[in-house]
Structure 1
Amino acid sequence: MTTFVDRVELHVAAGNGGHGCASVHREKFKPLGGPDGGNGGRGGDVILVVDQSVTTLLEYHHSPHRKATNGQPGAGDNRSGKDGQDLVLTVPDGTVVLDKQGNVLADLVGQGTTFVAGQGGRGGLGNAALSSARRKAPGFALLGEPGEARDIVLELKTVADVALVGYPSAGKSSLISVLSAAKPKIADYPFTTLVPNLGVVTAGSTVYTIADVPGLIPGASQGRGLGLEFLRHVERCSVLVHVLDTATLESDRDPVSDLDVIEEELKQYGGLDERPRIVVLNKIDIPDGQDLADMIRPDLEERGYRVFEVSAVARTGLKELSFALAGIVAEARAAKPKEEATRIVIRPKAVDDAGFTVTYDEIEEVYRVRGEKPERWVRQTDFNNDEAVGYLADRLNRLGVEDALMKAGARAGDGVAIGSEENAVVFDWEPSMMAGAEMLGRRGEDHRLEAPRPAAQRRRDRDAERDEAQREFDEFDPF
């Protein structure tokens, strides 16, 4: 059974926003007390959070579809809907978030680092929030926006200071077991280690992490064996340690050739040329192993490598190796630039930025309107409600969409699409038609909600109407 997964495809969907409510307040002796529809609740976000107690992406391998809860719709009596609950997904330290095209969206390093993978939809406004001096009784509310849904790829890159690389059965697992408290599976056959093992080493005042990277063989950088699956785990290390087997039983192998093969694979993978290298000649407790180590050590030192002779079984040479690695790690940490405090970057919009664009799509033969506001307004509109459609027309007209269409050459009857090709609202444009208020009359004004006139005023108005009617009758002469 799989127990370690370092790459998964995750399908996330944030919660939808709740719809606003169109309601009129009613009570005894006041049946029409004004709009009181509440707003819809916000949809929940999908948030990735680094948790250092999590070491694998196995949970998402088994259940890759994750969805946050929706916001609740608003209700009468000015009751807003409940917000959807955010869905928090814990990931290991060192997780990289990519889109389907392989573009990096976030690199999550450090306990508590967060990334919003899916933004929850906004809740729609109720008719109480839409009312104004000119729109006293809106008979509509705005719809909630759908939550963001997308497919992302999570890749785990082990956060370690030291990476042990080498052929299978070179002794990497044995070495990490004696340098730290890690307890990896150890055996004398190839590919014993199927997952990266991580251990913590203390050398003097320096504490660092060490990982063994399994599966490196010729062709690993092109996907042969297990190498391509785990080469990403060496990317974050400060130092590479070549573990060479000086007591190999294979006649066609020797430590120097093994080193050249692994170096070629690292070169093909790329991005590791500047990392310092150390060579560890392992298994010197075997007589032939010591003899071979004495033979090849001068050649390796001529190449510029620092060479250490160790025996994981006899625990020989481990202290010198541990302190040498601690020194390199300390230097690497000191050379890293200090993290600056987060600065707020303000990018004001250009003075001529209208907030939308109008282009002509020759394939679909429509004028396409794209922009955050127009597209959001369309999503919020209930097209079964004429008043809501008129309100949308008012907003688009105030934004300048109609003027932009005229400048782009649109004529009466031309198709206009608002939104992307996959999800656009298309209508025939009539430039002579004014926006919604003129189309639908005095929208949102209900004479039933007007304040009652005093009795004396009603009598004066009634008398004035009677006098006007009598005057018209007297002036009427049928002959």
Structure 2
Amino acid sequence: MTTFVDRVELHVAAGNGGHGCASVHREKFKPLGGPDGGNGGGGGDVTLVVDQDITTLLDYHHSPHRKATNGQPGAGDHRSGKDGQDLVLPVPDGTVVLDRNGNVLADLVGQGTTFVAGQGGRGGLGNAALASARRKAPGFALLGEPGEARDIVLELKTVADVALVGYPSAGKSSLISVLSAAKPKIADYPFTTLVPNLGVVTAGSTVYTIADVPGLIPGASQGRGLGLEFLRHVERCSVLVHVLDTATLESDRDPVSDLDMIEEELKQYGGLEDRPRIVVLNKIDIPDGQDLADMIRPDLEARGYRVFEVSAVARTGLKELSFALAGVIAEARAAKPVEVATRIVIRPKAVDDAGFTVTLEEDGIYRVRGEKPERWVRQTDFNNDEAVGYLADRLNRLGVEDALMKAGARAGDGVAIGAEDNAVVFDWEPTMAAGAEMLGRRGEDHRLEAPRPAAQRRRDRETERDEVQREFDDFNPF
């Protein structure tokens, strides 16, 4: 059964916004008291947050589909819908978020670091919020926007100061077990370590973490063995430690060729050329191991490596190694740039930025792209003529109609608003007056006007009676 997962594909979907409500207040002796439809609630976000207690992506391997809750629709009597609940997904420290094309969206390092993987949809406005002096009785409400849904890839890169790399059964697990309090699985067969092990080492006043990366073999950078799965775990490390086996029983191997092979795989993987290297000759407690270490040490030092002879079993040479690593790590930490407080960058909109674009495509369709037009289309109930008319008014005020005219559009030409896979297409009519004509101007209902004074009502009745009498006299010939 899988116990460690460091790469998963996650399908996240934020909550949809609730629809606004179109309602009219009614009470005794006041059947048309004005619009009172409430707004819809916003959909919940999907947020990734770093949790130090999480060390694997196993949960998302078993349950890759995650969705936040939707916002509730509005109701009459000015009651707004409840917002959807945000979905918080804990991830390990060092998680990288990528899209399906491999582009990095976020690099989550540090306890509490967050990333909004899916933005919840906005709730639609009710007709009470849409009412104004000119639009006293809107007979429509705005729809809630759909939540953001996308596929992302989570990759875990171990956050450690030191990475132990080497051939399988070189003694990396034994070394980390004696340098720290980690208790990895140790055996005398290859690929004992199937997951990266982390340990904490204290050397004087320096505390650092050390990672035991599973064994590499030739071709690991191209996917052979387990190397490709775990090479990413050395990317964040400040120091690479080559653990070489001086007592190998394989006749076709020796420590120097093992070192060359590992370096070639690191080179093929890329991005690790600037990391300082330290060579550890392990298993010198075996007589043949000590003899081989004495033989190859001058050659390694001639290459520029710092060489340490240790025995994880006899626990010799460990103190010198741990303090040497502490010194290199302290230098690496001092060389890192000082993190400054987050700066707020203000990018004012250009004076000629209309907020949308109009382009003529090869099939003769004029396509309108922009945040506002596309959002307004998503909020429109196209089964309601008044809502469609409201959309037309908003687009006209934004300047879409003028831009279409400048682009050469004529009456009857096709216009699409939005992307190709999710667009609203219609035949453009420049003088189109959509809406409820029976109400006069959109949103105005004479039934909701203030009552007339008694004297005015009496004069209107007398005038109506006189008109009826005149019509009767004109009709009666006698």
Q: TM-score, normalised by structure 2?
A: 0.97
Aligned 8 A contact 2:385 2:436 in 1: no
Quote the residue 2:231 is aligned against. Answer: 231
1:283 touches 1:289 (CA, 8 Å); kept in 2?
Answer: yes
Unaligned runs of 5+ in 1: none
Deviation at 1:477, TM superposition (A): 14
Which whole-Å CA distance do the structure 1 matches of 2:470 and 2:97 have between them?
Answer: 82
Q: Which is worse superposed, 446-455 or 230-239? A: 446-455
Distance 1:389 1:478, change over 3 A: farther
The answer to whether the 8 A contact 1:9-1:151 is kept is: yes
The answer to whether the 8 A contact 1:394-1:437 is kept is no
Q: Give CA-to-partner distance per residue, 1:52-86, whole Å, 9 cap, x none.
A: 11000000000000000000000000000000000
The structural deviation recorded for 1:457 is 2.3
Task: Give secondary structure in 1 for the equivalent of 2:167.
Answer: coil
Deviations for 1:129-158, whole angstroms, at most 9, x for unmatched residues? 000011111111000000000000000000
Structure-1 separation of matches of 2:145 and 2:260? 58
Contact 1:121 1:148 in 2 (8 A): yes
Secondary structure (helix, strand or coil) at the match of 2:8 reads strand
The Cα shift of 1:165 comes to 0.3
CA contact (8 A) 1:433 1:439 kept: no
Shift of 1:168: 0.2
- SS at 2:279 equivalent: strand
How far does the alpha carbon of each residue in 1:19-55 deviate from its partner, in whole angstroms, 9 at most, with x for none?
0000011112211111000000000000000001100
Cα 1:403–1:475 change in 2 (3 A) is: farther
Q: Distance in 2 between matches of 1:448 and 1:440?
A: 10
Report Cα offsets for 1:374-432 as digits up to 9, x if no partner. 11111101111111111111101111111111111111111111111111111111223
Preserved CA contact (<8 Å) 1:412 1:431: yes
Per the TM alignment, residue 440 of structure 1 is displaced from its structure 2 partner at its CA by: 7.1
State the alpha-carbon separation in 2 of the partners of residues 437 and 284 from structure 1: 92
Does structure 2 conserve the Cα–Cα contact (< 8 Å) formed by 1:397 and 1:435?
no
| CA 1:418–1:43: 2 relative to 1, 3 Å | same
The CA distance in 1 between the partners of 2:156 and 2:439, in whole Å, is 58
Question: 1:215 deviation in Å?
Answer: 2.9
- Whether the 8 Å contact between 1:393 and 1:436 is mirrored in structure 2 is no
Compared CA separation, residues 243 and 331, structure 1 to 2 (3 A): same
Deviations 1:347-376 (A, max 9, x none): 1111111111111121x4311111111111
Q: Distance in 1 between matches of 2:462 and 2:270?
A: 95
CA deviation map 1:88-138 (0-9, x unaligned) = 000000000000000000000000000000000000000000000111111
Contact 2:388 2:434 in 1 (8 A): no
For 1:192 and 1:354, the matched residues in 2 are separated by 62
Structure 2: stretches of 5+ with no match in the other structure:
none
Quote the Cα distance in structure 2 between the aligned partners of 1:473 and 1:242: 114
| CA distance in structure 2 between the aligned counterparts of 1:20 and 1:432, rounded to whole angstroms | 29
Tell me: CA distance 1:328–1:439, structure 2 relative to 1, closer, same or farther (3 Å): farther
- Between the aligned partners of 1:264 and 1:102, the Cα distance in structure 2 is 25
Q: Is the 8 A contact 1:95 1:107 kept in 2?
A: yes
Cα offsets for 1:242-300 (capped at 9, x unmatched): 00000000001110111011011111111111110000000000000000001111111
Cα displacement (A) at 1:459: 2.0
Q: Whole-Å Cα distance in 2 between the matches of residues 153 and 215 of structure 1? A: 25
Residue by residue over 1:174-198, the C-alpha shift from the partner in whole angstroms, topping out at 9 and shown as x without a partner, is 0000001111000011001011111
**Cα distance in 2 for residues equivalent to 1:351 and 1:476:** 68
User: Does residue 1:474 correspond to 2:434, yes or no?
Assistant: no
- Determine if the alignment matches structure 1 residue 23 to structure 2 residue 35: no
Matched residues in 2 for 1:436 and 1:300: separation?
84
Confirm or deny: 8 A CA contact 2:439 2:445 kept in the other structure: no
The TM-score, its normalising length taken from structure 1, stands at 0.96
The worse-fitting range, judged by mean Cα deviation, of 407-416 and 95-104 is 407-416
CA distance in 1 between counterparts of 2:69 and 2:433 reads 40
CA distance in 2, matches of 1:438, 1:256: 88
Verify: 1:210 aligned to 2:210, yes or no: yes
Q: What displacement does 1:321 show?
A: 0.4
Contact (CA 8 Å) 2:284, 2:310: kept in 1 or not?
A: yes
Rounded to whole Å, the distance in 2 between the matches of 1:36 and 1:296 is 86
- Partner SS state of residue 120, structure 2: coil
User: Per the alignment, in what secondary structure is the counterpart of residue 107 of structure 2?
Assistant: strand
Give the deviation of 1:441 after TM superposition.
3.2
SS at match of 1:147: coil
Aligned to 1:271: 271
Name the counterpart of 1:181: 181
Tell me how far apart the structure 2 counterparts of residues 255 and 143 of structure 1 sit (CA, whole Å). 69
1:3-27: CA deviations, max 9, x gaps? 0000000000000000000001111
Contact 2:162 2:239 in 1 (8 A): yes
Give the deviation of 1:437 after TM superposition.
7.9
2: CA distance between counterparts of 1:10 and 1:455? 69
SS in 2 for 1:422: helix
8 A contact 1:199–1:209 mirrored in 2: yes
Given that residues 383 and 389 in structure 1 are in contact (C-alpha distance below 8 angstroms), is that contact kept between their aligned partners in structure 2? yes
Distance (whole Å) between structure 2 residues aligned to residue 341 and residue 468 of structure 1: 81
C-alpha distance 464-440 of structure 1, shift in aligned 2 (>3 A): closer
Q: Give 1:470 shift.
A: 7.6
Contact 1:45–1:120 under 8 Å retained in 2: yes
Question: Is contact 1:168–1:190 with CA below 8 Å preserved after alignment?
Answer: yes
Deviation, 1:462, is 3.6
Segment of structure 1 superposing worse, 465-474 or 424-433: 465-474
CA contact (8 A) 2:412 2:429 kept: yes
Pick closer, same or farther for the CA change 1:478–1:418 going to 2, 3 Å: farther
Aligned equivalents of 1:258, 1:478: Cα separation in 2: 125
Cα distance in 2 for residues equivalent to 1:322 and 1:439: 86
Offset, 1:159: 0.2
- The yes-or-no answer on 1:383 pairing with 2:361 is no
C-alpha separation between the residues in 1 aligned to 2:100 and 2:366? 30
What secondary structure does 2:422 align onto? coil
Q: How many aligned positions are there?
A: 478
Cα contact 2:92–2:156 (8 A) shared by 1: yes
Distance 1:327 1:478, change over 3 A: farther
- Post-superposition Cα deviations, 1:288-323, rounded to whole Å, max 9, x if no partner, equal 000000111111111111110000000000011011
Contact 1:387 1:440 in 2 (8 A): no
Provide the rounded CA distance (Å) in 2 between the counterparts of 1:325 and 1:474. Answer: 116
Is 450-459 or 245-254 further displaced after alignment? 450-459
Q: Percent identity?
A: 93
Q: Choose 163-172 or 436-445, whichever is displaced more.
A: 436-445
Structure 2 counterparts to residues 316-355 of structure 1, below 5 A: 316-355=316-355
